[in-house]
Amino acid sequence: MRRLCLFAFGLTLVVVVLGAYTRLTDAGLGCPDWPGCYGFNYVPGSAQDHATAAQRFPDSPLEVTKARNEMVHRYAAGTLGCTILLMALWSLRTSLRAYRGFAWGLLALVCGQATLGMLTVTLNLLPFVVMGHLLGGFTILALLFLLLCKTRPPRMPYRGAGLGGWFLLALGALLLQIALGGWTASNYAAMACLELPVCQGDWVSQWQWSAFHPHGVPAQSYQYGVLSQDERVTIHAAHRLWAMVTAGVLLILAWRLWQQPALRRWGSWLALGVLMQLALGVANVVLHLPLAVAVAHNAGAALLLLIMTGTGERLWRASTNPVPVHGLVAAIHRN
């Protein structure tokens, strides 16, 4: 079960990165239908396929590169869904009720994620749905990593040192920042500000709370964004400002973790992750959003969430069970 969970975790990480790549290459509508692509189960490649695609979707000209990016993402996501289904079915063979509930809960999340993937296409990249799809992928990734952490061999004993409050504060700040990043990407606001440290001069006078309306401006398609420039500046500025708050809170938590010998490794990783993510954010602005840096910035957010997940599991285990339960770990590995 642990090997199957490890495979699902690695595949989820690939799916998250592929999702970012698909979004950043403007391939979210590379296939105007779902789950196929122009009515095919593969990327249309031949001249006859192109003619058939043009006949089926005359208002959506086929771009092979975008269609390929979209379908590769769907193939990977479909494989992940099958893997988690296998985890759920395999869990029926074990007596570990906690693992069984976890596996079936993950399967329900994957079904919800597939529904959001369909709505992303059928609602033409509605920003609220696109952001929800991104957050769903991050949630599945974090839960799989949590399951891996809970089934790993016991580490150095840790009794806790009042870090629960700081951890929850840091986790809340990080989740909000990830949501703001998703809202920035789904509304094509990443390039709304091209200056550092300010944002288009007097950005305060351009602030528009309407930029955070969950439904946005009604439109036939939301590809390339439909909000005004002032609203995009507002979203970008909010993402920048909250990034500084989040970085400060995470670095304080990293320092507190580093002071505990049993948690020093998590604290070091957290500090390095925050600094790397800040550097990638600055590089996105200075270099005008190069694809590789933008994808790495998305992966960096996932990495920070994984570090926080591992830290939280360590703190939770210390508060609820000071002495590690070897029996559960042994049972997981036997299965």
Report pLDDT digits (tens) over 304-315. 999 999 999 888
26 and 175 part of one domain: no
Range with the poorest average pLDDT among 122-136, 148-162, 230-244: 148-162
Residue at 262: amino acid letter:
A
Residues 70, 117 within the same domain = yes
Position 310 in a domain? yes
Q: Are residues 283 and 188 in the same domain?
A: yes
Whether 176 and 312 map to the same domain: the answer is: yes
Residue 328 lies in a domain: no
- Please say if the pLDDT value at position 330 is more than 90: no
Q: Are residues 95 and 192 in the same domain?
A: no
- Note whether residue 72 is domain-resident: yes
Q: 90-106: buried (b, 16+ CB within 10 Å) or exposed (e) per residue?
A: bbeeeebeebbebbbeb
- How far, in whole angstroms, is CA 255 from its chain's centroid? 25
154 SS3 class: coil
Q: Which residues are known catalytic residues?
A: 70
Q: Which range of residues forms the domain containing residue 144? A: 1-151
Label residue 213 by pLDDT band (50, 70, 90): confident
- Does one domain contain both 39 and 115? yes
Is residue 125 one of the residues assigned to a domain?
A: yes
**Amino acid identity at 146:** L
| Same domain as 26, residue 133 | yes
Q: Provide the pLDDT for residue 257.
A: 93
Whole-model pTM: value is 0.89
In Å, how far are 29, 50, 53, 122, 273 from 60, measured between CA atoms?
9, 12, 9, 13, 40
DSSP 210-269: GGG-SS-S--S--TT--S-HHHHHHHHHHHHHHHHHHHHHHHHHHHHHHTSGGGHHHHHH
Compute φ and ψ for 317, nearest 5 degrees: -65, -35
- Same-domain status, 167 and 299: yes
Average pLDDT across the chain, whole number: 88
Of 127, 151, 175, the last residue of a domain is: 151
Q: Which amino acid, residue 22?
A: T
Q: How far apart are CA 191 and CA 186, in angstroms?
A: 12
**Banded pLDDT at 329 (limits 50, 70, 90):** very low
Angle, CA of 314, 320 and 323, to the nearest 5°: 75
CA distances from 112 to 63, 119, 133, 151, 214 (A): 28, 11, 9, 26, 19
pLDDT confidence bin for 319, thresholds 50/70/90: low
- Tell me the pLDDT tens digit for each residue of 80-103: 999 999 999 988 887 777 788 888
- The predicted-structure confidence for 196-207, as pLDDT tens digits, reads as follows 877 877 778 878
Residues facing residue 37 across a β-bridge: 40
Same domain, 184 and 314: yes
Is 90 exceeded by the pLDDT of residue 51? yes
Q: Average of pLDDT values for 94-122?
A: 89
Judgement on whether residues 23 and 146 belong to the same structural domain of the protein: yes
Q: Is 207 found in the same domain as 99? A: no
Answer yes or no: do 202 and 233 share one domain.
Answer: yes
Angle at 183 (CA atoms; ends 81, 217), nearest 5 degrees: 110
Q: Domain for residue 219, yes or no?
A: yes
- List, in sequence order, every residue forming a beta bridge with 40; answer none if it has no partner: 37
Domain-located, residue 46: yes
Give the least confident one: 122-136, 139-153, 202-216.
202-216
- Domain count across the chain: 2
The answer to the question of residue 54 being in a domain is yes
From 151, 182, 210, give the residue that closes a domain.
Answer: 151
Q: Is residue 326 part of a domain?
A: no
According to DSSP H, which parts of the chain are helical?
Answer: 2-24, 47-56, 64-91, 97-122, 127-150, 164-186, 229-258, 264-286, 291-320, 326-334
Last residue of one domain, picked from the residues 151, 173, 201 = 151
How crowded is residue 292: how many other Cβ atoms within 10 Å of its Cβ?
A: 11
Neighbours of 79 (CB within 10 A): 15
Residues 6+ apart with CB under 8 A from 313: 146, 149, 150
